[in-house]
Amino acid sequence: MTRLVFDDTGSGNPVLLLHGFPCTRMLWRPVAERLVQRGFRCLVPDLLGYGESPSANDTGMAAQVAPLLALLDDQGVPPVDLVAHDVGTAAAQLLAVRHPQRIRRLVLMDGVYETEWAMDAIESVRCWDESKAARLQPVLARKLRSIRELLGAYAGEEGGRRLIHAARCLEPRETEGVTARLREAGLPVRVVWGAQDEYLSLSGVGRPLATALGADLVAVHGGHFLPLDNPEGAAQAISDFLGGA
């Protein structure tokens, strides 16, 4: 089984934090620091094909479930609180419906709803000329200034090719019909959203997702990359729901 690279900090109830595209585990660093201060243990992996984790023929979100389970097995942790962002919420939802006994509570942040994955926003990456892969990271760094430091993981030709491959593996049909299955699983769910999300809007995606899940919705000041835009607000919304560590 492919092993993911991950950070493990703190103690107390374990929280598994999943990033999305085109990020790495560094997205969660300022939030994880705050959760550790609140008494939680934070397990923060680079997803398969992202950051420092190995790649594979398929690095889509359904393909993330097995290596994430392996991580939990290796660490011998009890049921975890699962927190995910962007398309990482697709992996989280699939993990939760397939293995609900491994999850205590679920937080979905600025993520996907059924087949709404904001694919238009990454179409340019999916269509990028692989022979010019080294040019991709500098372009994204100029466009996505709030996460430009994270994008260093995808510098150069190899990094660019990894990111292009990851984009091409994203498949919105993987979460078609998952909302009803997640609600049937009966897990406590909170939906947290950046009020100024420019890719997956609060009104168009966040609120319908929360309604479909019967979950509470917390809007936090910030854009799509909320863990970096407003780490204190994001950490507060998470820890309030997870309860005492």
Question: Tell me, what's the pLDDT at 243?
Answer: 86
Contact, 102 vs 125, CB < 8 A? no
Domains of the chain, each with CATH number or no CATH: 6-117+176-242 (3.40.50.1820)
DSSP state of 113: B
pTM of the predicted protein model: 0.97
Q: Please report where in the chains the tokens 């929280």 appear, as a residue.
A: 15
User: What does the alpha-carbon distance between residue 78 and residue 213 come to, in Å, rounded to a whole number?
Assistant: 24
User: What does the alpha-carbon distance between residue 31 and residue 29 come to, in Å, rounded to a whole number?
Assistant: 5
Question: Tell me, what's the pLDDT at 225?
Answer: 98
Question: Tell me, what's the pLDDT at 245?
Answer: 40
Angle at alpha carbon of residue 208, lines to 87 and 226, rounded to 5°: 45
Give the start-end residues of each E strand in 5-155: 6-10, 14-18, 41-45, 80-86, 103-111
Q: Quick one: tokens of 143?
A: 């466009």
Contact, 178 vs 209, CB < 8 A? no
Contact, 146 vs 230, CB < 8 A? no
pLDDT in tens, the chain (245 residues): 679 999 999 999 999 999 999 999 999 999 999 999 999 999 999 999 999 999 999 999 999 999 999 999 999 999 999 999 999 999 999 999 999 999 999 999 999 999 999 999 999 999 999 999 999 999 999 999 999 999 999 999 999 999 999 999 999 999 999 999 999 999 999 999 999 999 999 999 999 999 999 999 999 999 999 999 999 999 999 999 998 54
Handedness of CA 167, 3, 107, 236 (dihedral sign): negative
Question: Tell me, what's the pLDDT at 199?
Answer: 96
Q: Please report where in the chains the tokens 């994270």 appear, as a residue.
A: 150
